[in-house]
Amino acid sequence: MNDKQKLRQTAILSAAKILFIKFGYDKTSVADIAKQAGISKGAIYLHFNSKDELFETLLTTQMAKFSYVWMAYVEADPKGGTMAGIYINMLHAMHKDSFITAMMSQDGQFFGSYLYKPNSLFKQQYQQNTRQEFVKMMQQVGCVRKELDPFTTAHIMNIISHGLVSIGQVMDKAAAPPIEDTIATLADIMDRALTPDDGGNSEAGKQVLRQIFKSSIDDFTNKYGIDPNDLKTT
């Protein structure tokens, strides 16, 4: 991809970010994004085969950027490698990212019908069992109770993760507590349920997170051809 193409793709993703935050997946069209970016609809298809591909590229790009901020908070926190620390620092990172905040706190309109697509990123993630591997690794270093079954524990964590982004489909936003309160309480619950009695080895937990983070960023940059340094700024 040459410099002109990179600039155009960046403009497309920036326009898409604005519109998906404001209107959500279902109410944002490729034509809308083209108009917002100041380019033709055809120019978008030079970079993305469909709205889904554009949406997924935006999601993964923003999640990768979010991960850098999240990991910075984890590294700075003496308890960042514990289960409670992982969730609390996720909350701190969310406050720095309008896209992630919108994704987690809107009333179901952000993802809309995308959640139910057969090949959505969520279904791909669950099929890859990445969270199960995370649980196993955290058990091995003493950050998750060893008597828990990794498969079942990961499944419950997947249910919670999916619920955070889909609850707006069945509950009015006004009836739900603020997302900040939800995640803070979730951190406490996960800590009590998963952390060993000795509190866990935070530094060992951080090392697991570093390993997973590096692998995820490597996979992302290889797939999308994006310079990792470009992900460190929002």
pLDDT in tens, 23-67: 999 999 999 999 999 999 999 999 999 999 999 999 999 999 999
User: How many whole angstroms separate alpha carbon 227 and alpha carbon 112?
Assistant: 30
Task: Please check whether residues 43 and 142 belong to one and the same domain.
Answer: no
> Is residue 193 assigned to a domain?
yes
Residue of higher predicted confidence among 73 and 109? 73
Q: pLDDT band for position 12 (50/70/90)?
A: very high
Mean pLDDT of 77-84: 94
- Quickly state the pLDDT bin for 234 (edges 50, 70, 90): very low
Q: Give yes or no: residues 64 and 139 share one domain.
A: yes
Q: Which of 34, 31, 41 is nearest to 15 (CA)?
A: 34
Q: Give the total residue count for the chain.
A: 234
Q: Which of 81-90, 92-101, 161-170 has the lowest mean pLDDT?
A: 161-170
Same domain, 120 and 214: yes
Residue 53 lies in a domain: no
Long-range contacts, stretch 120-123, CB < 8 angstroms, 24+ apart: 121/56, 121/59, 121/60, 122/162
Contacts 24+ apart (CB under 8 A), 89-93: 90/183, 91/180, 91/183, 91/184, 91/187, 93/66, 93/69
How many structural domains is the chain composed of? Answer: 2
Distance, in Å, from the CA atom of 114 to the CA atom of 120, rounded to the nearest integer, reads 7
Decide if pLDDT at 152 tops 90. Answer: yes
Percent of the chain whose predicted confidence (pLDDT) is above 90: 58
pLDDT, residue 127, reads 60
In order of 3, 67, 100, 223, 232, the CA distances from 228 in angstroms are 16, 12, 19, 12, 7
Cβ atoms of 110 and 59 closer than 8 Å: no
Q: pLDDT (tens digit, 9 = 90+) per residue, 182-230?
A: 888 999 999 999 999 999 999 999 999 999 999 989 888 887 777 777 7
- Taking 90 as the threshold, does the pLDDT of residue 100 lie above it? no
Cβ–Cβ < 8 Å for 93, 62: no
Judge if 124 and 43 occupy the same domain: no
CATH number at residue 15: 1.10.10.60
Both 28 and 75 in a single domain? no
Position 225 scores a pLDDT of 73
Most confident of 75-79, 92-96, 130-134: 75-79
The per-residue pLDDT for 110 is 87
Q: What is residue 112's predicted lDDT score, i.e. its pLDDT?
A: 87
CA angle 157, 162, 65 (to 5 degrees): 90
Task: Supply the pLDDT for residue 211.
Answer: 95
Give me the domain span that covers residue 28: 1-48
The model's pLDDT over 109-138, given as tens digits with 9 standing for 90+, comes to: 888 899 888 888 877 766 657 889 999 999
Check: CB of residue 67 under 8 Å from CB of residue 213: yes
Q: Indicate whether 54 belongs to any domain.
A: no
pLDDT at site 209: 96
pLDDT of residue 97: 87
